[in-house]
Structure 1
């Protein structure tokens, strides 16, 4: 599985979506599915990250790091 989005259908089949999400969460909890670690980019790369998100070439999870 490379992604899961139910935002557009959850209101149409809430019971089915609840069942599916419960199954996915159980698989993650058991270690069968792994949640990918985020790619961390410095804030100064925000433009590059935004372009990657728009072109759908960014890693599954991308976060910007703000210096302390």
Structure 2
């Protein structure tokens, strides 16, 4: 399947970046927009569940 559209993601937080990584992994063109000047270096999650860790591992981010 050929898609000529680009997926736009608003926000470079954990959810936006994981969504972008999954879409790129699937072969879709993605642009991520972030309003902030810097990206946070602090964790926003208090717990990582096993399925989340499995997904991050598949993306090479765990």
TM, length-normalised to structure 2: 0.36
Q: Structure 1 or 2: larger helix share?
A: 1
Larger radius of gyration: 1
